[in-house]
Amino acid sequence: MPLRDRAGLVVPEQPQYIPGSPLARAFEQPLMLGLFLPLQTGGWSQSTLARDTDWSFHYNLALTRQAEDLGFDVVFGLSQWLPKGGFGGATGYRENFLDPFVSAIALASATRSILLLGTVHILYGPWHPLHLAKFLATADHISGGRFGANMVTGYADTEPAMFGMTRPDHDRRYAMADEFAAICKDLWAGHDNLTFHGEHWSLDEAYVSPRPAYGRPILVTATGSPSGFDYAGEHADIVFVSSPVGEDFERAIEALPGHVAMVKAAARARGREVRVVINPTIVARPSHAEAVARYRAIGDHADLESIRNFTGRHDAGDSQSWLEHTARGRAVGGHLHLVGSPEEIADQLEQLHDAGLDGVQITFYDYQPELTYFGQAVLPLLEKRGLRNS
Protein backbone atom coordinates (compact mmCIF):
# COMPACT_ATOMS: atom_id res chain seq x y z
CA MET A 1 0.00 0.00 0.00
CA PRO A 2 1.48 3.41 -0.89
CA LEU A 3 2.29 5.85 1.89
CA ARG A 4 0.00 8.86 2.11
CA ASP A 5 0.37 12.15 3.90
CA ARG A 6 -2.18 13.69 6.26
CA ALA A 7 -4.09 15.18 3.31
CA GLY A 8 -4.42 11.73 1.77
CA LEU A 9 -1.96 12.39 -1.06
CA VAL A 10 0.50 9.65 -2.03
CA VAL A 11 3.97 10.74 -0.93
CA PRO A 12 7.12 9.84 -2.86
CA GLU A 13 8.40 6.37 -2.17
CA GLN A 14 11.59 6.08 -0.13
CA PRO A 15 14.51 6.04 -2.58
CA GLN A 16 15.78 2.83 -0.98
CA TYR A 17 12.88 0.95 -2.59
CA ILE A 18 13.44 2.25 -6.11
CA PRO A 19 15.63 -0.17 -8.11
CA GLY A 20 18.86 1.41 -9.26
CA SER A 21 18.75 4.32 -6.86
CA PRO A 22 22.07 5.27 -5.23
CA LEU A 23 20.48 4.86 -1.80
CA ALA A 24 19.26 1.35 -2.64
CA ARG A 25 22.81 0.41 -3.68
CA ALA A 26 24.27 1.78 -0.44
CA PHE A 27 21.69 -0.09 1.62
CA GLU A 28 22.81 -3.38 0.07
CA GLN A 29 25.90 -3.20 2.28
CA PRO A 30 25.55 -5.09 5.57
CA LEU A 31 27.45 -2.27 7.30
CA MET A 32 27.39 1.11 5.59
CA LEU A 33 30.62 3.09 5.75
CA GLY A 34 30.53 6.86 5.90
CA LEU A 35 33.16 9.51 6.40
CA PHE A 36 32.39 12.56 8.55
CA LEU A 37 34.20 15.29 6.65
CA PRO A 38 36.32 17.80 8.60
CA LEU A 39 34.77 20.89 7.00
CA GLN A 40 35.65 22.90 10.11
CA THR A 41 38.88 23.87 11.87
CA GLY A 42 39.93 20.93 14.04
CA GLY A 43 37.44 18.55 12.53
CA TRP A 44 35.95 16.58 15.40
CA SER A 45 38.96 16.60 17.72
CA GLN A 46 39.89 19.25 20.28
CA SER A 47 43.56 18.41 20.71
CA THR A 48 46.81 20.21 19.91
CA LEU A 49 48.72 17.04 18.96
CA ALA A 50 50.33 17.58 15.54
CA ARG A 51 48.38 16.50 12.46
CA ASP A 52 47.55 17.68 8.94
CA THR A 53 43.72 17.54 9.07
CA ASP A 54 42.42 20.65 7.30
CA TRP A 55 39.04 22.32 6.80
CA SER A 56 39.69 23.50 3.22
CA PHE A 57 37.48 22.37 0.36
CA HIS A 58 40.38 20.89 -1.60
CA TYR A 59 41.44 18.77 1.38
CA ASN A 60 37.86 17.53 1.80
CA LEU A 61 37.55 16.88 -1.91
CA ALA A 62 40.66 14.71 -1.77
CA LEU A 63 39.24 12.85 1.25
CA THR A 64 35.94 12.28 -0.53
CA ARG A 65 37.64 10.86 -3.60
CA GLN A 66 39.83 8.69 -1.38
CA ALA A 67 36.76 7.37 0.47
CA GLU A 68 34.95 6.73 -2.81
CA ASP A 69 37.92 4.78 -4.18
CA LEU A 70 37.86 2.64 -1.01
CA GLY A 71 34.18 1.86 -1.59
CA PHE A 72 32.73 4.05 1.16
CA ASP A 73 29.02 4.69 0.76
CA VAL A 74 28.60 8.25 2.00
CA VAL A 75 30.31 11.44 3.12
CA PHE A 76 28.63 13.87 5.44
CA GLY A 77 29.11 17.36 6.81
CA LEU A 78 28.24 18.95 10.14
CA SER A 79 26.73 22.43 10.50
CA GLN A 80 27.04 24.97 13.30
CA TRP A 81 26.69 28.75 13.47
CA LEU A 82 29.43 30.19 15.64
CA PRO A 83 30.75 33.62 16.64
CA LYS A 84 34.18 34.99 15.80
CA GLY A 85 36.92 32.58 16.82
CA GLY A 86 34.65 29.53 16.99
CA PHE A 87 35.22 27.75 20.30
CA GLY A 88 38.61 29.41 20.73
CA GLY A 89 41.43 27.76 22.62
CA ALA A 90 44.88 27.08 21.25
CA THR A 91 43.39 25.44 18.16
CA GLY A 92 40.73 28.07 17.35
CA TYR A 93 38.38 25.10 17.22
CA ARG A 94 35.84 25.40 14.38
CA GLU A 95 36.81 29.01 13.66
CA ASN A 96 36.59 28.28 9.92
CA PHE A 97 33.53 26.30 8.89
CA LEU A 98 32.52 25.49 5.32
CA ASP A 99 28.79 25.18 4.78
CA PRO A 100 28.07 21.44 4.39
CA PHE A 101 25.00 21.91 2.19
CA VAL A 102 26.91 23.93 -0.42
CA SER A 103 30.00 21.74 -0.05
CA ALA A 104 28.05 18.52 -0.68
CA ILE A 105 26.60 19.95 -3.89
CA ALA A 106 30.06 21.06 -5.01
CA LEU A 107 31.38 17.54 -4.43
CA ALA A 108 28.73 16.05 -6.72
CA SER A 109 30.43 16.99 -9.98
CA ALA A 110 33.79 15.67 -8.75
CA THR A 111 32.58 12.21 -7.68
CA ARG A 112 30.91 9.20 -9.27
CA SER A 113 28.99 7.02 -6.83
CA ILE A 114 29.31 8.13 -3.22
CA LEU A 115 26.29 9.60 -1.41
CA LEU A 116 26.66 13.26 -0.42
CA LEU A 117 24.83 14.48 2.67
CA GLY A 118 24.72 18.08 3.84
CA THR A 119 23.20 19.53 6.99
CA VAL A 120 20.73 22.41 6.94
CA HIS A 121 19.01 24.10 9.89
CA ILE A 122 15.53 24.32 8.42
CA LEU A 123 14.07 26.61 11.10
CA TYR A 124 16.67 29.40 10.88
CA GLY A 125 16.19 32.66 9.04
CA PRO A 126 14.05 32.90 5.94
CA TRP A 127 13.94 29.20 4.95
CA HIS A 128 10.62 28.17 3.42
CA PRO A 129 9.74 24.60 2.43
CA LEU A 130 9.33 25.70 -1.19
CA HIS A 131 12.92 27.00 -1.20
CA LEU A 132 14.38 23.79 0.14
CA ALA A 133 12.19 21.52 -1.99
CA LYS A 134 13.43 23.30 -5.12
CA PHE A 135 17.06 23.42 -4.02
CA LEU A 136 17.09 19.74 -3.05
CA ALA A 137 15.42 18.69 -6.29
CA THR A 138 18.10 20.62 -8.17
CA ALA A 139 20.88 19.04 -6.10
CA ASP A 140 19.29 15.64 -6.73
CA HIS A 141 19.60 16.15 -10.48
CA ILE A 142 23.14 17.53 -10.26
CA SER A 143 24.24 14.46 -8.28
CA GLY A 144 22.22 11.81 -10.08
CA GLY A 145 20.16 11.05 -6.99
CA ARG A 146 23.15 10.95 -4.63
CA PHE A 147 22.37 14.10 -2.64
CA GLY A 148 20.63 14.16 0.70
CA ALA A 149 19.82 16.68 3.39
CA ASN A 150 20.29 16.28 7.12
CA MET A 151 17.36 18.45 8.17
CA VAL A 152 17.90 19.60 11.75
CA THR A 153 16.13 22.04 14.06
CA GLY A 154 19.05 23.38 16.12
CA TYR A 155 19.52 22.90 19.85
CA ALA A 156 21.70 25.92 20.72
CA ASP A 157 20.00 29.10 21.90
CA THR A 158 22.81 31.27 20.45
CA GLU A 159 22.31 30.18 16.84
CA PRO A 160 18.73 31.43 16.27
CA ALA A 161 19.75 34.73 17.84
CA MET A 162 22.16 35.26 14.94
CA PHE A 163 19.11 35.24 12.67
CA GLY A 164 17.12 37.58 14.92
CA MET A 165 15.03 34.68 16.22
CA THR A 166 14.22 33.06 19.54
CA ARG A 167 14.61 29.30 19.74
CA PRO A 168 11.27 27.46 20.02
CA ASP A 169 11.16 24.77 22.69
CA HIS A 170 12.33 21.27 21.88
CA ASP A 171 9.09 19.50 21.02
CA ARG A 172 7.66 22.49 19.17
CA ARG A 173 10.70 22.51 16.90
CA TYR A 174 10.01 18.95 15.89
CA ALA A 175 6.36 19.77 15.21
CA MET A 176 7.55 22.58 12.94
CA ALA A 177 10.04 20.28 11.23
CA ASP A 178 7.32 17.69 10.68
CA GLU A 179 5.17 20.21 8.84
CA PHE A 180 8.17 21.48 6.88
CA ALA A 181 9.21 17.99 5.70
CA ALA A 182 5.62 16.98 4.86
CA ILE A 183 5.26 20.04 2.62
CA CYS A 184 8.52 19.23 0.84
CA LYS A 185 7.37 15.67 0.18
CA ASP A 186 4.06 16.88 -1.24
CA LEU A 187 5.97 19.23 -3.56
CA TRP A 188 8.28 16.43 -4.71
CA ALA A 189 5.29 14.20 -5.40
CA GLY A 190 4.09 16.83 -7.86
CA HIS A 191 0.42 15.83 -7.93
CA ASP A 192 -0.59 19.38 -8.82
CA ASN A 193 0.04 22.93 -7.73
CA LEU A 194 0.07 22.82 -3.94
CA THR A 195 -2.04 25.07 -1.76
CA PHE A 196 -1.51 24.54 1.92
CA HIS A 197 -2.16 26.68 4.99
CA GLY A 198 -0.69 25.11 8.09
CA GLU A 199 0.25 26.23 11.55
CA HIS A 200 3.73 27.35 10.50
CA TRP A 201 3.87 27.69 6.68
CA SER A 202 1.55 28.56 3.84
CA LEU A 203 1.72 28.03 0.10
CA ASP A 204 -0.61 29.00 -2.73
CA GLU A 205 -0.41 27.25 -6.10
CA ALA A 206 3.22 26.19 -5.48
CA TYR A 207 5.00 23.67 -7.68
CA VAL A 208 8.50 22.17 -8.04
CA SER A 209 9.87 20.84 -11.31
CA PRO A 210 11.84 18.88 -12.33
CA ARG A 211 10.99 16.40 -9.65
CA PRO A 212 13.72 14.25 -8.09
CA ALA A 213 15.00 11.30 -10.09
CA TYR A 214 14.18 8.63 -7.47
CA GLY A 215 10.97 9.77 -5.84
CA ARG A 216 12.58 12.34 -3.56
CA PRO A 217 16.01 13.32 -2.27
CA ILE A 218 17.57 11.31 0.55
CA LEU A 219 16.41 12.58 3.93
CA VAL A 220 18.51 12.32 7.06
CA THR A 221 18.20 13.49 10.63
CA ALA A 222 20.25 13.35 13.83
CA THR A 223 18.41 12.93 17.11
CA GLY A 224 18.34 11.43 20.59
CA SER A 225 14.89 12.30 21.94
CA PRO A 226 11.43 10.72 21.72
CA SER A 227 10.15 13.66 19.65
CA GLY A 228 13.15 13.31 17.38
CA PHE A 229 12.57 9.58 17.02
CA ASP A 230 8.97 10.25 15.98
CA TYR A 231 10.09 12.81 13.40
CA ALA A 232 12.76 10.42 12.09
CA GLY A 233 10.27 7.57 11.91
CA GLU A 234 7.96 9.70 9.77
CA HIS A 235 10.47 11.30 7.41
CA ALA A 236 14.06 10.02 7.46
CA ASP A 237 15.88 7.35 5.49
CA ILE A 238 19.01 7.50 7.66
CA VAL A 239 19.07 8.44 11.35
CA PHE A 240 22.24 9.48 13.14
CA VAL A 241 22.37 8.61 16.83
CA SER A 242 24.98 9.17 19.50
CA SER A 243 25.96 6.90 22.36
CA PRO A 244 23.60 7.62 25.26
CA VAL A 245 26.35 6.77 27.79
CA GLY A 246 29.44 8.50 26.42
CA GLU A 247 32.45 7.56 24.33
CA ASP A 248 33.62 4.42 26.16
CA PHE A 249 33.00 1.48 23.84
CA GLU A 250 32.28 -1.13 26.50
CA ARG A 251 29.58 1.00 28.12
CA ALA A 252 28.16 2.08 24.77
CA ILE A 253 27.81 -1.40 23.33
CA GLU A 254 25.57 -2.36 26.25
CA ALA A 255 23.29 0.67 25.88
CA LEU A 256 23.06 0.91 22.10
CA PRO A 257 20.79 -2.07 21.26
CA GLY A 258 17.84 -0.61 23.18
CA HIS A 259 18.57 2.90 21.90
CA VAL A 260 18.65 1.77 18.27
CA ALA A 261 15.54 -0.36 18.73
CA MET A 262 13.54 2.71 19.79
CA VAL A 263 14.47 4.52 16.57
CA LYS A 264 13.52 1.59 14.37
CA ALA A 265 10.30 0.96 16.29
CA ALA A 266 9.20 4.56 15.68
CA ALA A 267 9.61 4.03 11.93
CA ARG A 268 7.96 0.60 11.86
CA ALA A 269 4.94 2.00 13.69
CA ARG A 270 4.48 4.14 10.57
CA GLY A 271 5.05 1.30 8.12
CA ARG A 272 8.57 2.46 7.30
CA GLU A 273 12.16 1.25 7.67
CA VAL A 274 15.14 3.44 8.51
CA ARG A 275 18.87 2.81 8.73
CA VAL A 276 20.56 3.88 11.96
CA VAL A 277 24.20 4.97 12.01
CA ILE A 278 26.62 6.28 14.64
CA ASN A 279 29.79 8.38 14.57
CA PRO A 280 32.85 6.60 16.03
CA THR A 281 36.34 8.03 16.05
CA ILE A 282 38.71 5.25 15.07
CA VAL A 283 42.28 5.07 16.35
CA ALA A 284 43.89 2.07 14.66
CA ARG A 285 47.54 1.01 14.77
CA PRO A 286 49.33 -2.29 13.98
CA SER A 287 49.22 -3.34 17.64
CA HIS A 288 46.95 -2.72 20.60
CA ALA A 289 49.75 -1.03 22.53
CA GLU A 290 50.52 1.37 19.70
CA ALA A 291 46.84 2.30 19.32
CA VAL A 292 46.41 2.94 23.04
CA ALA A 293 49.57 5.07 23.11
CA ARG A 294 48.28 7.17 20.23
CA TYR A 295 44.86 7.49 21.84
CA ARG A 296 46.39 8.65 25.12
CA ALA A 297 48.64 11.14 23.35
CA ILE A 298 45.63 12.79 21.69
CA GLY A 299 43.91 13.10 25.07
CA ASP A 300 47.06 14.33 26.78
CA HIS A 301 47.12 17.28 24.37
CA ALA A 302 43.48 18.26 25.02
CA ASP A 303 42.68 21.86 24.13
CA LEU A 304 40.95 22.44 27.46
CA GLU A 305 39.88 26.04 26.79
CA SER A 306 38.04 25.12 23.59
CA ILE A 307 36.54 22.07 25.33
CA ARG A 308 35.20 24.24 28.16
CA ASN A 309 33.64 26.61 25.62
CA PHE A 310 32.20 23.73 23.60
CA THR A 311 30.77 22.04 26.70
CA GLY A 312 29.28 25.29 27.98
CA ARG A 313 27.49 25.94 24.72
CA HIS A 314 26.22 22.37 24.51
CA ASP A 315 25.02 22.34 28.12
CA ALA A 316 23.18 25.63 27.61
CA GLY A 317 21.18 24.10 24.77
CA ASP A 318 18.45 21.51 24.97
CA SER A 319 20.02 18.71 22.97
CA GLN A 320 19.21 15.23 24.25
CA SER A 321 22.22 13.68 22.48
CA TRP A 322 25.90 13.45 23.36
CA LEU A 323 25.40 14.17 27.05
CA GLU A 324 28.01 12.11 28.90
CA HIS A 325 31.33 12.75 27.20
CA THR A 326 34.50 13.56 29.13
CA ALA A 327 37.00 16.31 28.34
CA ARG A 328 39.52 13.72 27.13
CA GLY A 329 36.75 12.16 25.09
CA ARG A 330 36.03 15.44 23.35
CA ALA A 331 39.74 15.87 22.68
CA VAL A 332 39.61 12.69 20.61
CA GLY A 333 36.15 13.39 19.16
CA GLY A 334 33.26 11.30 17.91
CA HIS A 335 30.30 9.80 19.71
CA LEU A 336 32.26 6.74 20.79
CA HIS A 337 35.85 5.57 20.46
CA LEU A 338 37.16 2.49 18.69
CA VAL A 339 40.80 1.89 19.65
CA GLY A 340 43.06 -1.01 18.81
CA SER A 341 44.71 -3.18 16.21
CA PRO A 342 42.97 -3.75 12.86
CA GLU A 343 41.52 -7.01 14.20
CA GLU A 344 40.21 -5.25 17.32
CA ILE A 345 38.66 -2.46 15.24
CA ALA A 346 36.94 -5.06 13.05
CA ASP A 347 35.68 -6.79 16.21
CA GLN A 348 34.20 -3.56 17.52
CA LEU A 349 32.56 -2.70 14.21
CA GLU A 350 31.05 -6.17 14.12
CA GLN A 351 29.68 -5.66 17.63
CA LEU A 352 28.07 -2.38 16.54
CA HIS A 353 26.45 -4.20 13.64
CA ASP A 354 25.21 -6.93 15.98
CA ALA A 355 23.77 -4.21 18.25
CA GLY A 356 21.46 -3.17 15.42
CA LEU A 357 23.43 -0.36 13.84
CA ASP A 358 23.34 -0.30 10.06
CA GLY A 359 26.40 1.84 9.54
CA VAL A 360 29.13 4.03 10.92
CA GLN A 361 30.02 7.60 10.05
CA ILE A 362 33.73 7.57 10.84
CA THR A 363 35.97 10.37 12.05
CA PHE A 364 39.74 10.21 12.33
CA TYR A 365 42.23 12.41 14.13
CA ASP A 366 44.64 12.79 11.19
CA TYR A 367 42.30 12.04 8.35
CA GLN A 368 44.28 11.23 5.22
CA PRO A 369 46.90 8.80 6.60
CA GLU A 370 44.42 7.17 8.99
CA LEU A 371 41.83 6.70 6.24
CA THR A 372 44.56 5.12 4.11
CA TYR A 373 45.50 2.74 6.91
CA PHE A 374 41.85 1.87 7.54
CA GLY A 375 41.48 0.95 3.87
CA GLN A 376 44.62 -1.18 3.88
CA ALA A 377 44.30 -2.94 7.23
CA VAL A 378 40.67 -2.89 8.43
CA LEU A 379 38.52 -2.94 5.30
CA PRO A 380 39.74 -6.38 4.11
CA LEU A 381 38.82 -7.80 7.52
CA LEU A 382 35.29 -6.38 7.24
CA GLU A 383 34.94 -8.00 3.82
CA LYS A 384 36.19 -11.32 5.16
CA ARG A 385 33.57 -11.16 7.96
CA GLY A 386 30.74 -10.45 5.54
CA LEU A 387 30.22 -6.90 6.85
CA ARG A 388 31.16 -5.40 3.50
CA ASN A 389 30.47 -6.56 -0.03
CA SER A 390 33.61 -6.15 -2.10
Residue 239 CA to residue 136 CA, distance in Å, equals 18
Q: Please give the average per-residue pLDDT across 39-46, as a whole number.
A: 97
Please state, rounded to an integer, the average pLDDT across all residues of the chain. Answer: 93
Position 215 in a domain:
yes
Q: For the whole model, what pTM was predicted?
A: 0.93
- Report percent pLDDT > 90 for the chain: 87
Residue range of the domain that includes 86 = 15-384
Torsion angle of alpha carbons 276, 284, 379, 148, nearest 10°? 40
Q: What is the pLDDT of residues 374-387, one digit of tens each?
A: 999 999 999 999 99
For residue 276, pLDDT beyond 60: yes
Summarize the confidence of residues 76-82 as an average pLDDT. 94
Q: What is the pLDDT of residue 378?
A: 98
Give the span between the Cα atoms of 152 and 163, in whole angstroms: 16
Q: At what angle do helices 129-143 and 100-108 cross, to 10 degrees?
A: 30
Residue 281 counted as domain residue: yes
Residue 286, domain member (yes or no): yes
Query: 108: Cβ–Cβ under 8 A, 6 or more apart, which residues?
Result: 116, 139, 142, 143, 144, 146, 147
DSSP, residue by residue, 198-233: -SS-EEEEE---SPPTTSS-EEEEE--SHHHHHHHH
Average the pLDDT over 310-326 and give the result: 66
Using one digit for the tens of pLDDT, what is the confidence trace for 146-181?
999 999 999 888 999 999 999 999 999 999 999 999
pLDDT in the model for residue 318:
53
Closest alpha carbon to 156 in 36, 17, 318: 318
Would 31 be classed as within a structural domain? yes
Strands 74-77 and 32-36: parallel
Q: What is the pLDDT, as a whole number, of residue 390? A: 83
Whether 7 is covered by a domain: the verdict is no
Count up the domains in the chain and report the number: 1
Overall average pLDDT of the 7-32 stretch = 85
Whether 10 is covered by a domain: the verdict is no
Is residue 79 scored above 60 in pLDDT? Answer: yes
Task: State yes or no: pLDDT of 324 exceeds 60.
Answer: no
Q: Does residue 2 sit within a domain?
A: no
Q: Which of the four pLDDT bands, split at 50, 70 and 90, describes residue 2?
A: very low
- Count Cβ atoms below 10 Å from residue 254 Cβ, excluding itself: 11
Report the CATH number at residue 333.
3.20.20.30
Q: Does residue 4 belong to any structural domain of this protein? A: no
- For 149, residues 6+ apart whose C-beta sits below 8 A from its C-beta are 101, 117, 118, 119, 120, 132, 136, 217, 218, 219, 220
